[in-house]
């Protein structure tokens, strides 16, 4: 039996190679490709707002997720909370997201160079100098943009609230 969410969004979750083929066709048709990346663990309103704002910058929004191994290297053994398969399904279900892919490295540089989006987007917690892939995208004629983050939302703060609530419940 196929899980409903899996069948609904399977065409939106692609390997980098399959995505490259799809994007080539879309670029040939004059579509602007917007790219962003991250862990996107425990999806919250800040993520939803950020991705909707990113989509407004072009025609097609691609979200590249860190693999579970990459997340563990970057954030420690207790992360991610949701595995790549689960995170991919959730992100793919968002109206603003057209495609989801993943990358194993600690930074998205290789997948950015492979896909070469028209617009590279990161959150306002990055400065232009710290955005991985900015140089490559701009040298190819693309743009790099920062979007404001929704104040008060972060996965780390949600995890802290869950831990505190659990500790209070056990007292």
Q: What's the chain's average pLDDT?
A: 89
Q: What is the DSSP letter of 31?
A: P
pTM: predicted TM-score of the whole model, two decimal places: 0.88
The domain total for the chain is: 1
Check if the beta carbon of residue 120 is closer than 8 Å to that of residue 143: yes
| Cα-Cα-Cα-Cα dihedral sign, residues 128, 58, 102, 91 | positive
Question: Of all helices (H) and strands (E), which one includes residue 37?
Answer: strand 33-38
Judging by DSSP bridges, how do beta strands 33-38 and 60-66 pair with one another? Answer: parallel
Write out 127-140 in H/E/C secondary structure.
Answer: CHHHCCCHHHHHHC
Query: Which three-class secondary structure state does DSSP give residue 82?
Result: coil
Q: What is the CATH number of the domain that holds 69?
A: 3.40.50.620
Question: Of all helices (H) and strands (E), which one includes residue 23?
Answer: helix 16-28
Q: Specify the residue for token string 């579970």.
A: 68
> Per-residue pLDDT tens for 5-24?
445 678 999 999 999 999 99
At residue 142, the pLDDT reads 98
Q: Percent of the chain having pLDDT more than 70?
A: 88
> Per-residue pLDDT tens for 104-131?
999 999 999 999 999 999 988 888 889 9
Give the pair of three-digit tokens for residue 37.
């990346």
Query: Which three-class secondary structure state does DSSP give residue 33?
Result: strand
**Residue 42 domain boundaries:** 4-169
At residue 5, the pLDDT reads 47
**Is a pLDDT exceeding 70 seen at residue 4?**
no
């Amino acid at each position: 039996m196929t899980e409903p969410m899996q069948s609904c969004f399977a065409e939106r979750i692609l390997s980098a190679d399959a995505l490259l083929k799809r994007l080539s066709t879309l670029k040939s048709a004059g579509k602007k490709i917007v790219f962003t990346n991250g862990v996107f663990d425990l999806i919250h309103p800040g993520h939803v707002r950020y991705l909707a704002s990113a989509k407004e910058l072009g025609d097609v929004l691609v979200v590249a997720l860190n693999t579970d191994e990459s997340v563990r290297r970057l954030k420690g053994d207790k992360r991610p909370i949701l595995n790549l398969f689960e995170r991919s399904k959730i992100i793919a279900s968002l109206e603003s997201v057209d495609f989801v892919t993943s990358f194993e490295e600690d930074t998205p540089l290789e997948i950015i160079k492979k896909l070469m989006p028209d617009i590279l987007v990161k959150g306002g917690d990055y400065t232009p100098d710290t955005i991985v892939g900015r140089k490559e995208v701009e040298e190819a004629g693309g743009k790099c943009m920062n979007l404001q983050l929704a104040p008060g939302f972060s996965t780390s703060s949600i995890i802290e609230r869950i831990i505190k609530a659990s500790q209070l419940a056990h007292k």
